[in-house]
Structure 1
Amino acid sequence: MSRARSRTLLIVGGTAVIALGAGIFAGTRITSPADAIARTAAPEASEVTVPVELRALNSEVVTRGDVTAAGAVDVTPETGGLETPPIVTGQVPEVGAEIAEGAALLEIVGRPLIALAGELPMYRSMRPGMSGPDVEQLEITLDRLGLDPGEVDDEYTASTGDAVEELFERIGYEPPAPDPQAEAELDAANDAVEQAEDAVEDAEDALDAAAPGPDGAPADEDALEDAVEDARDQLADAQTARDEAAAAAGTPLPASEVVFVPSLPRRVDEVHVRRGGQIDGAVMSVSGASLVVTANVDDADHELLAVEQAVSIELPTGEQVPGTITAIAEAEGEGATGWDVTVTPGELTPEQAEALRGQNVRITVPIESTEGDVLAVPLAALTAGPGGESRVEVMRDGVAELVEVEVGLTAQGFAEVTAVDGTLAEGDLVVVGDGGDGTDDEGGEE
């Protein structure tokens, strides 16, 4: 019995010790409501400061714009004067090909369709003897291409026809054939000249062969001399008629073999025909080889922009290329707002142009910049004094000091400052806010 009682007492004692230890441990983990509030209360607020920086500031307008080709137009040849159906026989360009002035951009029934630059369309066939503004446009173009049309005016002369002939020969095609009736008239005029020359020769021979009269002069001398004079007059008239016929029989320019577009070179955007197909309307769509970027800005940015202002255009590759603002106009169309700004890129490589075409790109317009590094503080550091003066609060050895400043350029979230009353230097800590939650703003320190 004594052994059993001893074992019971040991068990009870051990249990008591364990319970006491658990109670002590639990007591250390119990927190009163007052203690909990004290432990979670926010620390005393402190000022958020950042250092004064020495940096260059740049004010700029940043926007985005769509890249398009300048002046897209449809090419529609004039085929009404053809005697056969307008079948495409060759020279069909590929999309993306560049069309140069004076080159064949298509072949129709074996004849070229030559691209020339001009505002007036090719609304009629031209031939020697014609005149008008379309003739003048043609001669200006021929002269620009280094082909000599004679005096540049509104008269289609034989010299104009010669220049047209050289235009076709330059691209490897036979020149257009003269009008058959004009050629027939020229043949007849040449025959008339030959007959008139024979008549002059006969009249002169008759005068020379006439027998002398009693006084030694040929009989009927006056009549024979009159005959010679008449024959010579008829020869002169025949020669004039021949020259006119020759001019009329010069090289013409059929309306179906030339198309005028406002400017060249251009890029082929779409092709609507195929070799062997028949033309019915526009054969292709071409756009200016030069690119433009169109962006839309609000009224605030519009006030900062001007025509001829330099810009920077970011290519999709990240490369920067220069450009110039070439037009600013109020946005038009249903629902349009703000201002449309047209930017023309500077000289581009073929690779850069292809990378830009059809893209939406970032445009940066520099507005103003400081001349090198200046003292700068965040805009949040500026406060207004009682008299409206600008000032910053500088922490020096834990003590706040108000320093009046003159504010210069503001850009990129910073302001250029110069101390007016007091001193301010790079690295000085200026107050930008109250760190009530015990944390700093990015880049600041307590």
Structure 2
Amino acid sequence: MTSSPKSRRQILVGVASLAAASLGVGVVAGARITSPEDAAAKTAAPKASQITVPVEKKALSSKVVGRGDASFDGAVNIRVETSGLTTPAIVTGKVPAVGSTIAEGKALLEIVGRPVIALAGVLPMYRSLAPGSKGPDVLQLERTLDRLGFDPGSVDGKYDSGTARAVRELYEQAGYDAPEAEQQLKDAADAAKKNTDAAKKALRQAQSQLKQAKDAKAPDLTVQKGAVEDAKEALADAREAQDDAELKAGTPLPVAEIVYVKSLPRRVDKVNVERGGTASGAVMSASGAALVVTLKVDAAAGENLKPGMAAILTLGDGSTVNAKVKRATRKGESYDVVVAPNKLNAKQLEQLRDANVRVTIPVKSTSGKVLTVPLAALSAGSDGASRVEVLRDGKTELVPVKVGLSADGFAAVTPVGDAKLGEGDQVVVGR
């Protein structure tokens, strides 16, 4: 069967269309086929680029920051040595209230009608003192009296008439009669004075007899002169005995009437006695009159802290109080740091009482603004010297620097020698 020309044309057009379609499918499939090399290239991480930050000019200040608990400084237990009393140690008055202040040279308590006077000192009162006593406790007493303005004479560790006089003045200022010596000592002093008076009278009589003999022009005055010399020696002995007796009868210091505390004034925290009760053991506990804040810091930070350094306390309402470091005491791998406020008003005192507050202690600071870079920008060369990597015109350059104060993640730097580094330069901190 012979096809017509029209049929042949239709067949040719169909074949062409089919070929074109096949070609298109092949092109698309070819585009989607990727070689292993091309696939690896497309999935590899992009080439690393530098992360840079600009060099800045600013002031740096390193500081120790922590939280501390507020309390009254240095709590101690106060004990009265009552073993020297001949009667029970009954509390008869002057019982302090919690929160009151123990002042040096004032009575903090009354026992059997006598004051217990507080003095500052490290050696406790362990015995009664009296004229003739010697030792380190007497020396402490004399130094204390002298510091308070009561002149004890020679500060030599010997309880003499000057010490006794100063003790009397201490009691008078505290508002009490001074202690008295035992009656037999006072009687001995009175008897010694009478002996001195008798010796004076005997000397006057001997001198009068010698004068009468001279007036009578007696040929021999040996007896009369001898009597005068004997009377003079007797008077000297009587006076020496009187001085010794009066010294012994001087103002004593009973062991139960003085309490030494390491430092004063202090605040009464707790009272363990009441009027009419018996004093035994710790009669009260007291802390420093001044409020302080105590915080714990690690050894590295604590080593840089010294007494007198300025500090800042941040109160609960966000306000601040200026303070100073009072002491920093190492405890193993840490330090206990005590900070004392400079001055507190009534509101601040109430806010601080038993509070936990933020404490900031500036340690070092730069003198004004200096060139600074992040700590991450610093590296060390083979010689151990510090350097930074600066990106300039697409290229990096190592710049040697001298590193100063570091604080808050930044370090003060100074270019070394002819090296150039300025504000705004881009330093590499990572890739």
- Report how far residue 307 of structure 1 moved: 3.3
Q: In the alignment, which residue of structure 2 is the partner of 1:298? A: 298
Q: Deviations over 1:13-47 (max 9, x none)?
A: xxxxxxxxxxxxxxxxxxxxxxxxxxxxxxx9x99
How far is the alpha carbon of 1:76 from its aligned partner?
A: 0.9
CA contact (8 A) 1:315 1:321 kept: no
1:8 is matched with: none
CA distance in 1, matches of 2:235, 2:363: 79
Match of 1:362 among 346, 353, 358: 358
1: distance between equivalents of 2:349 and 2:292? 10
Listed as ranges, the gaps of 5+ residues in structure 2 are: 1-45
1:320 positional shift: 3.5
Closer, same or farther: CA 320–429 of 1 in aligned 2, 3 Å: farther
Question: How has the CA–CA distance of structure 1 residues 263 and 384 changed in structure 2, closer, same or farther, with 3 Å as cutoff?
Answer: closer
Q: d(CA) in 1 for partners of 2:198 and 2:150?
A: 37
Range moving further from structure 2, 117-126 or 191-200: 191-200
SS in 2 for 1:89: strand
Once the two structures are TM-superposed, the CA of residue 401 in structure 1 deviates from its matched residue by 6.9
Equivalent residue number for residue 311 of structure 2: 312
Q: How far 1:238 sits from its partner (Å)?
A: 1.5
TM-score calculated relative to the size of structure 2: 0.72
- Who is 1:10 aligned against? none
Partner residue in 1 for 2:389:
391
Q: 1:413 to 1:358 in 2, by over 3 A?
A: same
Shift of 1:279: 0.6
Q: Could you tell me the percent identity over the aligned residues?
A: 48
Is the CA contact (8 Å cut-off) linking 1:268 and 1:284 kept in structure 2? yes
C-alpha displacement of 1:234:
1.9
Contact 2:291 2:341 in 1 (8 A): no
Deviation at 1:109, TM superposition (A): 1.6
Q: Which residue is equivalent to 1:152?
A: 155
Q: Do the aligned residues in 2 keep the contact of 1:405 with 1:418 (CA within 8 Å)? A: no
Contact 2:181 2:252 in 1 (8 A): yes
2:57 is aligned with 1:61 = no
Residue aligned with 1:283, SS: strand
Residue 132 (structure 1) aligned with residue 135 (structure 2): yes
Match of 2:43 in 1: none
Q: Please state whether the residue corresponding to 2:311 is helix, strand or coil.
A: strand
With structure 1 as the length reference, what TM-score do the two structures score?
0.70
Q: Which residue of 2 aligns with 1:203?
A: 206
| Matched residue type, 2:335 | D
Return 108-117 or 339-348, whichever deviates more. Answer: 339-348
CA offset at residue 83 of structure 1? 2.5
Q: Deviations over 1:269-308 (max 9, x none)?
A: 21111122211111111223355544333355456x2435
Quick check: 1:281 aligned with 2:281?
A: yes
C-alpha displacement of 1:360: 3.0
Look up the match of 1:81.
84
Partner AA of 1:312 in structure 2: A
> Secondary structure of the residue that 1:324 maps to in structure 2?
strand
Q: CA deviation at 1:155?
A: 1.3
**Partner Cα distance (2:132, 2:338) in 1:** 46
The match for 1:411 is 407
Deviations 1:228-254 (A, max 9, x none): 332332222222211211111111111
SS at match of 1:93: coil
- Counterpart CA distance in 2 for 1:159 and 1:96 is 37
Instruction: For 1:224-303, list aligned pairs within 5 A.
Output: 224-290=224-290, 293-298=293-298, 301=301
2:116 partner letter: L
One-letter code aligned to 1:362 = R
- Displacement of 1:56 after TM fit? 3.2
CA contact (8 A) 1:313 1:345 kept: no
Deviations 1:342-393 (A, max 9, x none): 244363346456654544332323344444345666667x497999964366
Shift of the 191–384 alpha-carbon distance from structure 1 to 2, 3 Å rule, reads closer
Matched with 2:113 is 110
Partner amino acid, structure 2, of 1:242: Q
Cα offset for 1:414?
Answer: 4.6
Contact 2:297 2:337 in 1 (8 A): no
Structure 1 residue 125: deviation in Å? Answer: 1.2
Rounded to whole Å, the distance in 1 between the matches of 2:379 and 2:217 is: 126
**How has the CA–CA distance of structure 1 residues 127 and 378 changed in structure 2, closer, same or farther, with 3 Å as cutoff?**
closer
